Structure 1
Amino acid sequence: MIPLYKPFMPETPQINEILKSGQLAYGKYGRAFEEQLSHYFETSNVLVTNTFNMAILVALTTLDVKAGDTVIVSPMACLASTQPLLSIGVIVQWADVDPMTGTLSPESVRSLMNIKPKAIIHNHYCGYPGHIDEINAIGNEFGIPVIDDGIEAFGSEYKGKKIGNVGSDVTIFSFNPVRIPNTLDGGAVIFKDDKLFEKSKLIRDAGIDRTQFRDNLGEISPNCDITMIGHSATPMEINTYIGTQQMENVDSLLSTQRENAKLWKQWYASNLNGKPIENHNSNPNFWVFGILAEDKIEMIKEMRSKGYYASGVHINNNIYSVFGKSDFLPGVEYFSNHFVAVPSGWWVDLKDELNV
């Protein structure tokens, strides 16, 4: 069975040297990885974290989102994107999604402006960019920051620009094992605003200003005050070193995934049970290849019988009681009942198998 996900790992010849160096905390490889990401996204305001969970918390803390604040969120997301909000006491307000894409419905988001949310988190489901201009316009109109949740969208593009540099206030990424790139575990935050970026660097490191933290003897200085809530979110050198090696392969891996997507599109052109997700103004990374199936269960069975591990990937998070009562959301209901993903990753060779 061809898997839906598979971790990629390049050659990592410096691992043993790093392990024996005694320099395991955030250092030269952490900075090098951030520089690579800055070049990739064409922005200098990139911060790497030790987990995706911490990327979310650093982003929210930097935006002064606190316990009791309401944040608009899509139920069609990985649970890793939504659970961290509850850990700091945020009230999750579900918005509906476009039933054809699984991403936030601008009309639904606009209808929730009366509750005065503190932020909007815009998940780009399985790497398929959502209605970015429309959601950002709502955020700008009402003075509410928009966080692009790119947990599965590294390398995805919208109107010729990469997610991470499409005008949103903040973008978050995951580098867990089945993402590209992966650092075993990790995340990143990108800020559009320079002042917020500078603030986030302190928040990532427990609120510490390292230029003043120690005195001339190397002792912790009592004159260095901690003025804001922070997190222990700096990455380890092993992880970021792996990230630097991953970045050398990102373009070729994404190219393979996009070539596989073209073949899937040709194959599904003659399959009456499903049609591909349409890419409005976007070029997804095709972390998976998404289909809207007439019969979801039958499509999953059909593709697995052909040797491809098909799946719905995520379940709509508004079913979980931990988030409290949820209203019926028709777009979420439709998308959740029809979405199927098939493998399109770098490990899949479709040219001979699909005969298209």
Structure 2
Amino acid sequence: MIPLFKPYMPELKKIEEILYSGKLTSGFYRNGFEHKLKDFFRTDRYITANTFSNAIYVTLTALGIGAGDEIIASPMACLVSTQPYLTMGIKIIWADVDPLTGTLDPDNVRKKITPKTKAIVHNHFCGYPGYLSEINSIGYEKGIFIINDCIEAFGSESDDKLIGLDGADASVFSFGPVRIPNTIDGGGVIFKDHDIYKKSILIRDCGIDRTLFRDELGEINPECDINLKGYSAMMNEVNAYIGFCQMDVTNKLLNAQRKNALIWDSFLLENAIGIPIARKNTKPNYWIYGMRVKNKRKTIETFRDQGYYASGVHVNNNIYSVFGDDSYLSGVVEFNNSFVAVPCGWWLNSDG
């Protein structure tokens, strides 16, 4: 059966050299991976982290968001995207989604804002861009941070701009096993504000300023103060090398997925199985190909019978008691009951 997800792995000619180099962290490839990411996004405010969760923690700490604060988020997201906020002691207020796209409904977001709201976390469901200009405008108007949850949206575009360059205060990316690019595990963040970006570099390394941390003998310098809370979140050389190599083919893989999406567009048009998830002026990365159907279970079974591993991918997080909010959200229910994804990855034609 053609899988819905499949990790890409390039030839890794120097992996053994790195493993036995004695330099497994903070070396050439972490810096090189970050430089390639900065070139891809044409920004100088991109950092990497060793996990997606740590990328979120660094982001929240850099923005000054913590225990007792509230954030507004979509329950139509991966648990990896939502659980970190709970572990920081942040209260999540669920907002409804547009039932046609699975992304945040700007009008409903407005209704959820309280004096405790510090950020809106904007998930771009399965790589399909949400209402970026509308959500970003709310943040600007209300003085609330906007955090793009780009766990599945690397390379997705809206209004001819890559998500991450749209004006959000921070955009958090995953480099997990089934992402493009993947580093087996890892994450990254683009910050809008240069000072917050510089602050985040210290936060991801236990608050340490490496230019001052050691003296001329290489000993820890007691005069180097640590005045920021931080994390051990630096990406190691092995993971960074994998990402470094993948950046050379990232556009090729994204283009292959978009070509596959055109084939699915024609298939749905000819067979009237479902309605593709689509919005004007957006360009998904087609991590998966999404559609809305009348009978979700039957459609999944039909595609699987034909050799395509179809799935609903995620379930709405407000069903989980850990979040303490099982509010009924009509758009979420409608979307979750109708959404089906089929494989659209770079491997589709070669396996099919």
What's the TM-score, normalizing by structure 1? 0.97
Listed one character per residue, the Cα deviations across residues 162-192 of structure 1 (whole Å, up to 9, x for unaligned) are: 1111111110000011000000100001101
**Matching residue of 2:210:** 210
Report SS of the residue matched to 1:238.
Answer: helix
Q: 1:222 deviation in Å?
A: 1.3
**Counterpart code for 1:212:** L
SS at match of 1:148: strand
Q: Quick one: distance in 1 between partners of 2:183 and 2:121?
A: 24
Q: Which moved more, 1:160-169 or 1:338-347?
A: 160-169
Counterpart position of 1:253: 253
1:57-72 map, 5 Å:
57-72=57-72
Check whether the contact 1:152–1:174 (CA below 8 A) recurs between aligned residues. Answer: yes
1:271 is displaced (CA, Å) by: 2.9
| Residues 1-356 of structure 1: pairs in structure 2 closer than 5 A | 1-349=1-349
Measure the CA separation in 2 of the matches of 1:123 and 1:10.
29
Amino acid aligned to 2:10: P
* SS state at 2:122 partner: strand
CA deviation profile, 1:92-136 (whole Å, cap 9, x unmatched): 111111111101110011111234311111000000000000000
Q: Greater shift after overlay, 89-98 or 263-272?
A: 263-272
Q: Is the 8 A contact 2:69 2:116 kept in 1?
A: no
Length, aligned pairs only: 352
Deviations 1:263-322 (A, max 9, x none): 000000133341100133210000000000111001101100110000000000000000
How far off is 1:27 after superposition? 1.6
| Distance in structure 2 (CA, Å) of the matches to 1:189 and 1:44 | 11
Does the residue aligned with 2:341 lie in a helix, a strand or coil? Answer: strand
Give the whole-Å Cα distance in 2 for the aligned partners of 1:53 and 1:27. 22
Please say if residues 72 and 113 of structure 2, whose CA atoms lie closer than 8 Å, have aligned partners that are also in contact. no
Which portions of structure 1, spanning 4 or more consecutive aligned residues, are displaced by more than 6 angstroms?
none
Question: SS in structure 2 opposite 1:12?
Answer: coil
Whole-Å separation in 1 of the counterparts to 2:93 and 2:126: 21
Q: Take 2:61 and 2:26, find their aligned partners in 1: how far apart are those partners?
A: 21
What is the TM-score when the length of structure 2 is the normalising length?
Answer: 0.98
AA matched with 2:236? M
RMSD: 1.2
Structure 1 position 214, deviation (Å): 1.1
Q: Distance in 1 between matches of 2:25 and 2:139?
A: 37
* 3-state secondary structure, aligned to 2:148: strand
Q: Matched residue of 1:21: which SS?
A: coil
Describe the SS at the equivalent of 2:348: coil
Higher mean alpha-carbon deviation, 174-183 vs 278-287, is at 278-287
Moved more, 113-122 or 39-48: 113-122
Aligned amino acid, residue 304 of structure 1: R
**Matches of 1:99 and 1:42, distance apart in 2:** 33
Task: Determine the C-alpha separation between the residues in 1 that align with 2:57 and 2:104.
Answer: 21
Change (3 A) 1:173 1:68: same
Write the distance in 2 (CA, Å) between the matches of 1:9 and 1:327.
41
Q: Which runs of 5+ in 2 are unaligned?
A: none
Measured in 1, the distance between the counterparts of 2:87 and 2:199 equals 22
- 1:23 is paired with a residue whose SS is coil
- Mapped to 1, the partners of 2:114 and 2:152 lie a distance apart of 30
Q: 2:266 is paired with a residue of what secondary structure? A: helix
SS across alignment from 1:34: helix
Q: Secondary structure at the match of 2:188?
A: strand
Of all paired residues, the percent bearing the same amino acid is: 55
Say if 1:67 and 1:116 are closer, same or farther in 2 by CA, change over 3 A.
Answer: closer
Structure 1 portions without partners, runs of 5+:
none
- 1:59 aligned partner, one-letter code: T
Q: Is the 8 A contact 1:273 1:295 kept in 2?
A: no
